[in-house]
A and B are shown apart, each in its own frame.
Chain A
Amino acid sequence: MKQQFDNIVLEAKRRQQEFNDTKLPKIHIGMATCGIAAGAIETKKTFEEELLNRGISALIHPVGCIGHCYAEPVVIIDHPDSGFPPIFYHEVNAGKAKMLTNMFLVEGDPRLEHILGATVANEMIPSIMEFPRFNLEKRIVMEKCGLINPEDIYEYIAYGGYSSLINTLQRDPKSIIKEVTESRLRGRGGAGFSTGKKWEMASISTANEKIVICNADEGDPGAYMDRTILESNPHQVLEGIMICAHAVGANQAIIYVRSEYPLAVKIIKNAIKQAQDIGILGTIFNLKITLFQGSGAFVCGEETALIKSIEGFRGMPNFRPPYPVQHGLKGMPTVINNVKTFASIPVIIEKGSSWYRETGTENSSGTAIFSVVGKVTHPGLVEIPMGTSLKTIISDICGNVPNKKKFKAVQIGGPSGGCLPEEFLSTPVDFDSLTHAGAMMGSGGMVVMDEDTCMVDVSRYFLDFTQKESCGKCTFCRIGTYHLLNILTRITKGEGREGDIELLERLSEDIKKGSLCGLGKTAPNPVLTTLKYFREEYEAHIKEKKCIGKQCRKLTAYYIDLEKCARGCDACVSSCPTEAIFTTSTRKKGIDQKLCVKCGECMVACPPQYNAVKKVSPVELAPIIERPIMI
């Protein structure tokens, strides 16, 4: 076995050497879902065409996502002959691709005004490592994401991949579990249960069939790191699964992926096939790995519901205990772990548990991966050591709230998490501190909100989500969330009543206590945290019919300030989707409040030197301007 693997490694190294040795320019293009959404396919095509047209050769190397979603499509050009180090370009659309082929590849001018930086330290151009977005991060799980071609197993192996598996196979399973336990790795699926302990429980079972399931359901609407890892480095996850299977003695593994992630599905299928083709799956380690596509139900991320869904039933959770490790799929002991948990395993085995423990805090070791989105300048995936403060993530790494707006809150943990205000920005992110503050690590979604966000609307949004996703098995969750949602909707429409806040609080507590699974138990969190930290917004909605964030459409109005509006200017008229803007008798513009849908497009369209469109809440603050009667 060792011999066979050594041969594979030799082959991988040979291929890598060959790739590195060529003098040809290399163009690395980020081709994960987010890159493709931003136009990476078009970019790649343009490069190919331009190279062909100009008769120059270069290697185009598709890679995964490095997590800098704000900069997509990301391209790194390595052009050794030019004398420049590899250069990182951002937002390379087709036009830029054409320009770069011409200017850099042909004429040797890297067009410094378009670069983000060099990827290695050098004397000519600043290196990207000098930016906080790069140097404050610590990549353990995502180290190879964006470096290697996810569809080529040899690239992963050339970077040391699968050596942990070989190492594991030569060791006693017990020592592997001990290593994982000592690393203090906690499950990254949300609850933070000790992975070592979970494996231990599965390993002591004497059942002759055991199953490993990788939970890649990722239902949180606003988190996508599991998808990115699967799309950028699927083999690291596969390796983690195989190590787990060896440690607990399982002979079957299932990867449960959302069917909404077609690219991830394709890449994993390909990865499994490659591992089989070169003998890693099969001769070196025998494990049956299958893929199951989830069908879009948030609750199926919950482990017992996930099992139900694989068995072909409605995904409704069961009471635990018995836990899946005792009585799981078809009654067999089943280890369920998250994608990030599995992806951490090869690194832990390779570098050892004490090395892993050096990163992070006492009770939460290692790194955390967040998808930071919403109102930040540089949204994307961020991998930081546990214990880093929220402030570092939001202001230093992600470049704070754009457009000179004020930060209002950050929502962490998706529908089960909570909203934290500015005072909590010094909170370190780890499992316990976040739970203590009322939020949750959850799936790792982090949505930043600025002063233009209405907190009541945010909690209504999450309740709308959980209410739709509630499976309906237990009463508290099914009916409780329905009423929570009703009350919140009423408040955002300006129909809030005295006593609503207290009712929300009571109902929330009851749902937390009475629900069967994690979905219901955590569903009121967004309501409770916003009530705790932003109570004045609820009160303003109910008492003054005023939305502080000016978001609730029933409580806000747009109008055009006639003093500022420029006579004869038509900029806003065509921007209005409902033709609500009319010309007044003084050839200025007015908004027909009956037709206005409050989309805010006119505000964007109005030239900044006039800045005539105003938004107010409550509605009464808007002056009434009548449409002139046409004769």
Chain B
Amino acid sequence: MLWERDLTQEDLNKVEQKLLSEIENNIKEYEKSRGNLIPILQMIQEKLKYLPKDSIEMVAKYLEINTCEVYGVATFYNQFRFNPPGNHPIKVCLGTACHVKGADIILENFERKLEILEGETTPDREFSIDRVACVGCCALAPVTMIGDTVQSHMAPSKVEGLILRFKIEKEMQEREKAKNETAI
């Protein structure tokens, strides 16, 4: 995971600032050609998990093209996102195999439980929900990815348990931390 668990909003911005300056150096390794636009955007997204406004401007300046041109390309492709994902990005597969096994109800259930819509992130940046078209495990449909793990044979009733598990895990860690602090 890129982020330390319980950073505040301001800390996050500091981390981002630092990464952004790293990225500014990384970009220079790419040749200044239009063909490198998508690879550069991919590199930024890999580091930051999304494309903040500053980074887009940085790329435009480096490749000497208009910012709107960069936005044009970035918004065309589904891979790129413009808001930060959660600590546990939830990707609900809505491919054909998953669809015929009721994936849309699972997506809805996540939306309802987390009180956000697909494409959004919870205010505490813990979870985000996205839809994807086939993660390539159709035989295990319906499938949802949470972080890098694939949850196979999903069911609407499993949703609450999954979310709860992450919440409990977090609480346990916090308690552990508090205990350690008092011990010192």
Contacts and interface: CB of A to CB of B under 8 A. Distances in A.
A66 to B, nearest CB: 12
Contacts of B152: 37-38
Chain A contact residues (Cβ within 8 angstroms of B): what range?
A: 35 or more
Interface in A242-282: 259-261
Interface stretch (A19-27, A597-605, A618-626): A597-605
Interface string B72-105: 1100111110000000000000111101111001
Contacts of A234: none
Nearest to B93: A221
A461 B98 CA distance: 11
Interface of A: 33-34, 36-38, 69-70, 72, 219-224, 227, 259-261, 292-293, 295-298, 309-315, 371, 373-375, 379-380, 411, 414, 445, 447, 449, 453, 458, 461-462, 465, 471, 574-578, 597-601, 604-605
Nearest to A458: B100
A577 B157 contact: yes
Contacts, number: 145
A297 B97 CA distance: 19
A352 B170 CA distance: 61
Contact of B138 (A312, A373, A458, A465): A373
B143 interface: yes
A261 B136 contact: yes
B140 A601 contact: no
Contact of B105 (A315, A599, A604): A599
B37 interface: yes
B139 A380 contact: yes
Interface centre among B73, B76, B109, by most chain A C-beta atoms within 10 angstroms, is B76
B133 A465 contact: yes
Contact of A449 (B34, B41, B100, B112): B100
Nearest to B46: A259
Interface centre among A36, A227, A293, A296, by most chain B C-beta atoms within 10 angstroms, is A296
- A-B pairs, top 6 by smallest CB distance, nearest first, are A69-B139, A222-B96, A221-B95, A295-B77, A296-B78, A37-B150
A70 B157 contact: no
B113 to A, nearest CB: 8
Given A461-B96, A599-B105, 7 more contacts: A221-B95, A259-B42, A260-B135, A311-B35, A449-B100, A461-B99, A597-B105
A600 B155 CA distance: 10
Given A309-B38, A414-B96, A600 B102 contact: yes
A315 B96 contact: no
12 contacts: A69-B137, A219-B133, A292-B39, A295-B42, A295-B79, A297-B76, A312-B37, A312-B38, A313-B73, A373-B139, A453-B100, A462-B96
Dominant SS among interface residues on chain B: helix
Nearest to B94: A221
Contacts of B135: 33, 37, 260
A576 B112 CA distance: 13
B108 interface: yes
Contacts of B56: none
B56 to A, nearest CB: 14
A298 B143 CA distance: 20
B133 A597 contact: no
A380 B33 CA distance: 42
Given A371-B138, A599-B109, A37 B143 contact: yes
A219 B34 CA distance: 24
Given A222-B97, A312-B34, A578 B138 contact: no
Given A37-B143, A295-B78, A599 B38 contact: no
Interface in B20-58: 33-39, 41-42
